[in-house]
Structure 1
């Protein structure tokens, strides 16, 4: 069975082998050496200070929000799918005064965001999803949103859980939350937070998500509590694969695989062309369950839709150890169903 899903993804054999070993004690030099190499390699993926904590992408997003937002502060949440909703929910749980800028499927253009935030008095943070997994849409305006945030003296917090490093971020962003189990091609269990500004929240933060505790010990590669040790072994192997290939080549590979689906499937993509995701493709389908079940018979697992598109879409991930031949087989099976 191969997993063409939004994550966890099909892992390369090298990553599986690296993960399947006795975990070391995380306070010994041997493990610190591995962690230091992983942290150094993460900086080659994106220019920020990387922190790895036990958890999922959702934990990474929650940690980012709790470290940069205080209760009562004004926050603008850009919402055009299920994961934008989750960012908004996290900010509300922190006690922030959240103003939601809602669009359907596609993100609002930067000028709309700018007009929206300027009407508010004292915005302290903007939250946005880089790659909205639920609808297969990528926000390619992050550089402009960062400038808008800077103009307000606010923080931009980005959920890039299903994007980095297959959908690179080429400009400086304040805070980026991501995870190991998607385009990083490692097992689930590692929350990754890149920071380019110091955490500024003054209100108490649960110890498990206090980024300051990690920052204090980064120089020694000595995490404040038990890290996801075997996930880090897998991430170490995955980063070697990605960096040997080169970030731009890795991005181009995902783009080519996604475009093969967009051009070849006899289904309408959910996203308009300029903002179509190159990691998680989404298509309208009259009978998504039939397609999912038929593909499973042929050894391929894909995902159904989410939210309002739950019953009329399918999602096919192109991350992980998925070949063009795999995709051609998926296309053949899906198109045969459409033609019936």
Structure 2
């Protein structure tokens, strides 16, 4: 971290936390078997159903998003079950790794990083593999790409395949109405658009998914979703609940849903659009095709001769602004600007100004100082949200 006490995290999690959330986190701890916790758990569960777009149960786990992914795989499968994993980046690969660990018969359908999945290819792979289920990423933060989730779900439902979606970085930032689109399992995480610390995972389940738990034989203990569902019926948790995080989530949802879910999604789109306009005005190129670019995080190719990780390090040290680097095969090849959660336009504009200074200090002279900021300003000027 820099010398600043309040650095700005423009990384795809953890994300900046608003003052009201920080105040909630600083309040005294309370018990997980108390009326207060039951009240908070009920409040967040009702609103998580709104976020997920489902009338069904959404389970809150004390775990990271990966814990939610593991729970999703383990609770609806038996060893040897066939699963199709659609992979467009690092987190798509994680679905395959978890599935293999549980002894599933995994077929991976991979696409070039920086592109989205092709529903036609998914259709063909489901037909040829005979997979019981399909797992994929709604929004791939490693590449800055959003998948055509609705189209993939249409294909999955055509084949009767159980659909399992990593929406950890996409929920509240892009559209994914679970019931309307026919999704079976959707996984979320607290440290993304929800604007609270890491530590909670959310798993929304369709009735078809709950039915699948009745015959699944993969072992579970802590991640036993039917046991968690039974406890949720009493507004409690099967094991120790993360009381302070649930209280903070209650406060965060108040803020994020003040104007409704559609407004929250629109705000993410507009921040992303402003950042993309700025990136192009700085004479930089997006890593993905802009038609599939994520509204959660913008992946950028550095100018020739500029080492992105060194540039990011200097940006953090000099200005207290932190961007993300590339992952796995993209390490040292891209940098990423996240715009998740509660981030105001003035923070975006300030970060872009500091990024311009840092890029020029590292030798990128292919733009006029202020060009990126001006492009983002022009976008925000036309957006009244």
TM-score, normalising length from structure 1? 0.96
- 1-side partners of 2:14 and 2:65: how far apart? 11
Q: What residue ranges of structure 1 are gaps of 5+ in the alignment?
A: none
What SS class does the counterpart of residue 51 from structure 1 fall into? strand
Q: Does 1:107 align with 2:119?
A: no
Contact 2:75 2:218 in 1 (8 A): no
Q: Distance between the aligned counterparts of 2:332 and 2:287, measured in 1? A: 13
Provide the residue aligned with 1:116 in structure 2. Answer: 125
How far, CA to CA, are the matches of 1:128 and 1:31 in structure 2? Answer: 33
CA distance in 2, matches of 1:312, 1:127: 27
Q: Distance in 2 between matches of 1:284 and 1:192?
A: 33
The CA deviation string for residues 104-152 of structure 1, in whole angstroms up to 9 with x for no partner, is: 12222111110111112x311100001101011111x222222222222
- Residues 325 and 335, structure 2, Cα contact 8 Å, conserved in 1: yes
Once residues 321 and 165 of structure 1 are traced to their aligned partners in structure 2, the CA distance between those partners, rounded to angstroms, is 11
**Equivalence for 2:379:** none
Say whether residues 1:195 and 2:205 are aligned partners: yes
* Partner Cα separation in structure 2 for residue 110 and residue 217 of structure 1: 38
Does 2:275 correspond to 1:284?
Answer: no
Query: Partner residue of 1:142?
Result: 149
Higher Rg of the two aligned structures = 2
Q: Counterpart of 1:126?
A: 134
The answer (yes or no) to whether the contact 1:11–1:186 under 8 Å persists in 2 is: yes
Task: Give, in whole Å, the separation in 1 of the partners of 2:340 and 2:333.
Answer: 23
* Cα 1:199/1:52, change in 2 over 3 Å: farther
* Runs of 4+ deviating beyond 6 Å: none
Q: Does 1:92 align with 2:100?
A: yes
| 1:173-188 correspondence to structure 2 within 5 Å | 173-188=183-198
State how far apart, in whole Å, the 1-side matches of 2:355 and 2:10 are. Answer: 14
Give the structure 2 partner of residue 324 of structure 1. 345
Secondary structure (helix, strand or coil) at the match of 1:119 reads helix
Question: Is 1:59 matched with 2:76?
Answer: no
Structure 2 distance, partners of 1:214, 1:241, is: 27
> Which of 156, 168, 171 is residue 164 of structure 1 equivalent to?
171
Q: Is the deviation greater in 281-290 or in 142-151? A: 142-151
Quick one: structure 1 residues 185 and 289, their matched pair in 2 at CA, closer, same or farther if it must change by over 3 Å? same
**In the alignment, is the contact (CA less than 8 A) between 2:78 and 2:218 conserved in 1?**
no
Structure 2 distance, partners of 1:199, 1:193, is 15
CA contact (8 A) 1:18 1:234 kept: yes
Taking the aligned partners of 1:107 and 1:320, their CA distance within structure 2 comes to: 23
Counterpart of 1:208 in structure 2 is 222
SS class of match (2:204): strand
- 1:6 deviates by 0.6
* 3-state SS of paired residue (2:132): strand
Change (3 A) 1:172 1:19: farther
Alignment-derived partner of residue 321 in structure 2: 300
1:274 equivalent among 277, 280, 291: 291
Where 2:96 maps in the other structure, the secondary structure is helix
Q: Which runs of 5+ in 2 are unaligned?
A: 1-6, 366-385
Give the aligned CA root-mean-square deviation in angstroms.
1.4
Offset of residue 177 of structure 1? 0.6
